[in-house]
A and B are shown apart, each in its own frame.
Chain A
Amino acid sequence: MSRIIDRGLEEQSVLIVRMGELTYETLALSIHGYLEGKSVQEQVRELSDMLLSMADKVEDQTFQLIARFQPVATDLRTIKSYMKIGNDFARYGRYALDISFINDQLHGLKECETWTRDYIDEMSEKVLSMVKISIDALKKQDIILAKTISETERSVDKMYFDYLHKLIKGEQANSKCVLSSALMTRYLERIADHAVYICESIVYIVTGEKVNLG
């Protein structure tokens, strides 16, 4: 016989998985728009706002479940973590919006040399793969998959700092490109961090362990 809390947990789980799918869609749209120099700001804003309101809903559900059912153990860890993951997804949405904004204001990577475009293209693919890992691991509650994120995270971090050094050394001369690419790599690095936080939350939900995967 299912418990009366199970229905609320199921609703929250459906919502958080839907958020995950929408998040990937939003980030992919924004990042590919930036790489291709295509304006997608209006669509991304709509999706990002949708993610924010879904995060609010997850928070409301969390408070309701706590107030009505006083969850403990796995239930408590799941509810607490879903609220945190909901906020991570909302942050993904805001970074997607920021990326679409710099694309429109600074013409994406149009003013950059080819090597910069290739560099950011590679970094973007790595970050999108991390986002995908975080969402797939969440759907399957797969801690083995979640823990695989660390390696890509280290690689993204290295790419970010290496790129900053290149800019400091003046390897990129065009100021619009410098500004656009510096912001883009920063946003990508932050998105990667949130993918790590989500994977840490998944490990916590499943095992109760608080791990650092970054």
Chain B
Amino acid sequence: MTSTINSQEKVVDTNMKMQSIDLNAWFGPKQALKDVNINIKANSVTAIIGPSGCGKSTFIRCLNRMHELTPNAKMTGQILLDGQNIYDKQVDSVQIRRRVGMVFQKPNPFPTMSIYDNVAAGLKLTGTKKGKNLDEVVKRSLEQATLWDEVKDELKKPGTSISGGQQQRLCIARAIALQPEVILMDEPCSALDPIATAKIERLVVELKRNYTVAIVTHNMQQASRVSDFTAFMYLGSLIEFGPTRDIFESPKNPLTEKYITGEFG
């Protein structure tokens, strides 16, 4: 991958799982993203860092067409998933959200559902799995989210009865159950204690074996621990993108240096 300071190659690259090309996004008149070009490599973890309001969350919400659900929001440019623009007219946004799952900042299990049903919810809704097959998927998803051993004897308990860290892993299991190709995480540890955070971080690193992960984080050390590539955004623009080691050891752009060393932000 070419790591350029301000933008990445705009050409369609079949080695990339996802690409944003000249991505611009607005909330009403306010522009949140400006010509963002980022390539996301398959089976890697890409961290998106930057100060509050820089467009990190908006960027990943464009990656699975969640941005368009916000009233008055609009975007231009392209988001490619395996080379196909997910904003093409014939593309079904629900299918895209199934292929590109999202885990949010605060764990948000469905409050009235059991642990089992939380994981099974998406599959039940789409009617794709039933009975024994469903049990298998629930088990496998909880295993992949490293939660199975902790909840296997209490699957009928409410999803909200477990700890915050377990709830977040439950949400990851719920996302995994739909067998997405990409998992987007928007500050998944910001509401968790250090132990729960460490578990999620280990899980993120594990997940890249089977999925492509993009994670928004305010925690610089977290980005450096879990990611292979890091994108630094500021005021809606991509300032620098590259292998995580390069970004944290020898950033090219003085703005990146200032942000990651805590001089501003």
Q: List A residues at the B interface (Cβ < 8 Å).
A: 3, 5, 70-77, 207-209
Contacts and interface: CB of A to CB of B under 8 A. Distances in A.
A77 B249 contact: yes
Contacts of A207: 250
Interface in B209-262: 220-221, 224, 248-251, 256-257, 260-262
11 contacts: A3-B263, A70-B221, A71-B261, A72-B249, A72-B261, A73-B251, A73-B256, A73-B261, A207-B250, A208-B249, A209-B250
Interface residues of B: mostly helix, strand, loop or mixed?
A: helix
Interface in B110-124: none
Interface of B: 220-221, 224, 248-251, 256-257, 260-263
Contacts of B251: 73, 208
Given A208-B249, A208-B250, A73 B263 contact: no
A73 B262 contact: no
B221 A73 contact: no
A13 B209 CA distance: 43
A72 B263 contact: no
A74 B257 contact: yes
A208 B250 CA distance: 5
B226 to A, nearest CB: 14
Contacts of B220: 70, 72
Nearest to A4: B262
A205 B261 CA distance: 14
Nearest to B248: A72
Contacts of B221: 70
Contact of B260 (A5, A72, A208, A209): A72
Nearest to B257: A73
B67 to A, nearest CB: 30
Contacts of B257: 73-74
B261 A3 contact: yes
Contacts of B224: 72
B249 A76 contact: yes
A72 B265 CA distance: 15
A211 B251 CA distance: 17
B250 A75 contact: no
B145 to A, nearest CB: 27
A3 B249 CA distance: 19
A74 B252 CA distance: 11
A42 to B, nearest CB: 43
